């Protein structure tokens, strides 16, 4: 699913098309994908908390949307604008068999598609957004966190692999599988190293790397792999232009030329350069 940069891209793009538009109705095709009672109202604000998107409505309700692994948002108005998990749904006739929720607006329709049904749209009161169990648990995003704060957290989870730690949204918020791999590569840290083994200097480098890889992605409109499409329908190009290791196993490391390999860490596919990211001081 989208990580922070993709959700930020969705937020910015979607704002252009549905801000100030009124939601007039909701059709739920999969009960699991919609939590709460459907609401109507004008979209007054679009916010992002980590990987969660919030649409505030003028009636005092908000829609919290989390796309998890395979969620997509496709706005069909005078033009079609798609974002989220890659598939032909972006151009296919809608709704289709992966459509879970249809949100009707004054001038168009917002389709929520989700192949694996891990994601959801949830109705909550706008004033309860900050206390929602998911939102409340989120840690700071890399730009708001100091190296010292991160270092403290690494010490508290000292026996876990560093990759597992930075994927935990309650420790640092926004990284997913792509940017975890990219940040660790950029900081030259092996993903299986115990979090507690990182020096203060390494921790700072990792934090700065996380900011850098995600900012680059936001600036280029999110990542793609014949895949993620920006909310304005154009493709982002982070993976093509900037990704150094993610899904590049078998290719030469752009820094040293050694072959990039794929391993498994914390249950996730993980891409590393075995030369640039060594475990020596674990």
Partner DNA sequence: CTAGGATCCTGTCAGC
Partner DNA sequence: TGCTGACAGGATCCTA
82 sits in which H/E element = strand 80-84
Show contacts with DNA in window 101-120 (CB under 7 A).
115-118
Chain position carrying tokens 């890399």: 142
Rounded Cα distance between 175 and 50, Å, is: 9
Residue 2 or 126 with smaller CB distance to DNA? 2
Show contacts with DNA in window 233-272 (CB under 7 A).
239, 264, 267-269
Binding residue (CB under 7 A) for DNA from 51, 163, 190, 230: 51
Rounded Cα distance between 196 and 46, Å, is: 38
Tell me phi and psi for residue 42, to 5 degrees: -85, 135
Question: Is 136 among the residues that bind DNA (CB under 7 A)?
Answer: no
Rounded Cα distance between 35 and 122, Å, is: 5
Question: Is 5 tagged catalytic?
Answer: no
Contact 140, 205 (CB under 8 A): no
Question: Is 191 tagged catalytic?
Answer: no
Residue 142 has a CB neighbour count (10 Å cut-off) of 25
Residue 105 or 150 with smaller CB distance to DNA? 150
262 sits in which H/E element = strand 261-265
Show contacts with DNA in window 221-240 (CB under 7 A).
222-225, 227-228, 239
Residue 136 or 201 with smaller CB distance to DNA? 136
Residue 146-175 contact track with DNA, rule CB under 7 A, x = bound: ----------xxxxxx--xx-x-x------
Smallest gap from Cβ 57 to DNA, in A, equals 23
- CA-based end-to-end distance of the chain: 31
Please tell me whether residue 142 adopts helix, strand or coil conformation. Answer: coil
Instruction: Pick the catalytic residue from 48, 51, 153, 248.
Output: 51
Please tell me whether residue 229 adopts helix, strand or coil conformation. Answer: strand
Show contacts with DNA in window 19-38 (CB under 7 A).
32
Residue 156 or 259 with smaller CB distance to DNA? 156
Site of interaction with DNA (CB under 7 A):
1-3, 5-6, 32, 50-51, 66, 68-69, 86, 97-98, 115-118, 133-134, 137, 156-161, 164-165, 167, 169, 176-178, 195, 222-225, 227-228, 239, 264, 267-269
Which of the residues are catalytic?
2-3, 51, 268
């Amino acid at each position: 699913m989208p990580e922070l940069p993709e959700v930020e891209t969705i937020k910015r793009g979607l704002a252009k098309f549905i801000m100030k538009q009124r939601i007039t109705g909701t059709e739920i095709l999969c009960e699991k994908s919609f939590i709460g009672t459907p609401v109507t109202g004008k979209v007054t604000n679009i916010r992002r908390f980590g990987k969660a998107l919030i649409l505030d409505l003028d009636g005092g309700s908000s829609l919290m949307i989390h796309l998890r692994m395979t969620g997509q948002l496709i706005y069909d108005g005078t033009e079609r604008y798609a974002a989220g998990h890659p598939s032909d749904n972006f151009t296919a006739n809608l709704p289709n068999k992966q459509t879970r929720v249809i949100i009707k607006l004054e001038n168009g329709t917002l389709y929520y598609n989700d192949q694996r049904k891990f994601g959801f749209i949830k109705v909550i009161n706008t004033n309860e957004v900050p206390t929602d169990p998911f939102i409340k648990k989120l840690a700071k995003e890399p730009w708001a966190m100091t190296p010292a704060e991160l270092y403290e957290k690494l010490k508290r989870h000292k026996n876990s692999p560093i990759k597992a730690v930075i994927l935990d949204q309650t420790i640092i918020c926004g990284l997913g599988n792509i940017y975890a791999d990219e940040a660790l590569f950029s900081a030259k840290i092996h993903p299986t190293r115990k979090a507690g083994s990182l020096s203060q200097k390494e921790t700072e480098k990792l934090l700065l790397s996380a900011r850098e890889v995600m900012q680059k992605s936001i600036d280029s409109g999110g990542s793609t792999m014949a895949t993620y499409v920006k909310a304005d329908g154009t493709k982002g190009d982070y993976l093509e232009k900037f990704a150094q290791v993610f899904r590049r196993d078998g290719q030469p490391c752009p820094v040293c030329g050694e072959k990039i390999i794929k391993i498994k860490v914390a249950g996730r596919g993980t891409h590393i350069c075995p030369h640039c990211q060594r475990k020596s001081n674990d």
